[in-house]
Structure 1
Amino acid sequence: MADGLESDDKGRLYGGDLEHNSLWRRSPNGTYRTLAQGADLIWVDTLSVASDRHLYALANQLNRLSPFHEGKDLRRKPYLLVRLPIDAGPVRLV
Structure 2
Amino acid sequence: MNMTSPQLQKSIMRRVYAVWFLRKVTSPLFVRVYIMLALIFQLVRSVSVTDIVSNIGNVKVFNTFNYLMDAFVKTEPAVQVYTMLFAALGIWVMYERRRQTQFVSE
* TM-score band, normalised by shorter chain: under 0.3
TM-score where L is the length of structure 2: 0.24
- Computing the radius of gyration over CA atoms, which structure comes out larger, 1 or 2? 2
Greater relative CO (CA pairs within 8 A, separation 6+):
2
Considering fraction of residues, name the structure with more strand. 1
Q: Which has the higher helix share?
A: 2
